[in-house]
Amino acid sequence: MRLRQIEIFYHVYRTGSISAAARDLNVSQPSVSKVLRHAEDRLGFALFMRRKGRLIPTAAADELFVEAEDIYARLSTFNRSLENMRSRKGGHLRLGVLPSLSLSVGPELVAHLRDQDPDLSFELTTLHSVEIEAALREKRVDMCIGFEPVDDPRIQNHHVGDGRMVIVSGQPLAGSPAEVSEQVLHGAEMIGISESGPLGTMIRQQLDDRGIVPQEVATAHTYHVALSLVRKEVGLALTDQFTAYSHLGAGLQRYLLSDFPGYSIYAITLADHPDEGKVAPAVDALREVVARVAEGIRSLQPREP
């Protein structure tokens, strides 16, 4: 079936009549009938039974509609993309952002770049670390923001800042108001994170090396869900500071780990991006944003009495 035939079939099936489908498509009823008849002739079987002026879908039509609905949805997405491209006044930047940075660094970067160029438009996609390399090589994104560099000569890694790990609690912890030792996690009820990214690997390795064994009472797939569980006082969570000090962490108790390793943040791009004039300023802007967000986080942290 051709796309036009699929479109006609979709609307006839959904509306249940030739006339209604014609109105939806803003075409004449005879043209709809003609395309539908040609489609059935080409397929070699009927899609609808004609009974007393009504169209009754056949079993084959019921089966095909599932596929047609998916195709039509993708076609609608394609057309919306065309409309978006037509309405753009300036450049367009596609960003891949880790979930833990999607509520702080990602939005801050977009706002910062929009201040510099109001005509610039954006697309933000949430990616996990293992998806970054393929997304860049397949040119689905222009720049990714991650916690570790990608080892590929076709990809360029730009170090843009650093962060620290934070314990988040629903109630105050004993000890310093600003920093605590990771020993508070030993035997404590804790929300585990079932993600295999660089931070998850680092956390597990450090706890193992230090002989720290928390009591994992729940497991979350993202740091954001972990903070929601902390808010319900299910247990403590160990997360990066950008997640801890995003709006999801507001109102919770947050403590920097005094002697726990930190992590780096990278802007990751193709080494030979065809529009370097668009990507290079974004990397510089991200470096400024990470520094600004980190400084804002420091201002929120309690000071020593």
Q: How confident is the model at residue 303, as a pLDDT?
A: 47
Tokens of 240: 């990066």
Distance CA 225, CA 241 (A): 15
Residues 230-255: tens digit of each pLDDT: 999 999 999 888 888 887 788 899 88
Tokens of 24: 């939806």
Residues 12-63: tens digit of each pLDDT: 888 888 888 888 888 998 998 999 899 888 888 889 888 876 788 899 889 8
Q: How confident is the model at residue 214, as a pLDDT?
A: 92
DSSP 8-state secondary structure symbol assigned to residue 236: B
Q: Is 80 exceeded by the pLDDT of residue 298?
A: no
Q: How confident is the model at residue 86, as a pLDDT?
A: 61
Helix segments in the chain, DSSP class H: 3-15, 18-25, 29-43, 59-87, 105-116, 129-137, 198-209, 223-231, 241-244, 276-300
Angle between helices 3-15 and 18-25 (to 10 degrees): 120
Q: β-strand 92-97 against 121-126: which pairing, if any?
A: parallel
Distance CA 305, CA 297 (A): 19
Distance CA 91, CA 94 (A): 10
Q: What is the dihedral of CA 49, 53, 54, 57, to 10 degrees?
A: 20
Residues 187-201: tens digit of each pLDDT: 999 998 876 578 888
Q: What is the mean pLDDT of residues 174-188?
A: 79
Minimal CA–CA distance to 304: which of 243, 250, 256, 251? Answer: 256
Residues in contact with 135: Cβ distance below 8 Å, sequence separation at least 6, in sequence order:
96, 125, 127, 141, 144
Return the SS3 of 258: coil
Q: β-strand 263-270 against 143-146: which pairing, if any?
A: antiparallel
Return the SS3 of 234: coil
Q: Is 70 exceeded by the pLDDT of residue 108?
A: yes
Minimal CA–CA distance to 149: which of 132, 171, 137, 173? Answer: 132
Distance CA 127, CA 102 (A): 9
Distance CA 141, CA 273 (A): 11
Residues in contact with 179: Cβ distance below 8 Å, sequence separation at least 6, in sequence order:
255, 256, 257, 258
Return the SS3 of 254: strand
Distance CA 255, CA 259 (A): 12
pLDDT level of residue 169 (50, 70, 90 thresholds): very high
Q: How confident is the model at residue 193, as a pLDDT?
A: 82
The reported pTM is: 0.68
Counting residues of the chain whose pLDDT is more than 90, the rounded percentage is 24
Q: Is 60 exceeded by the pLDDT of residue 300?
A: no
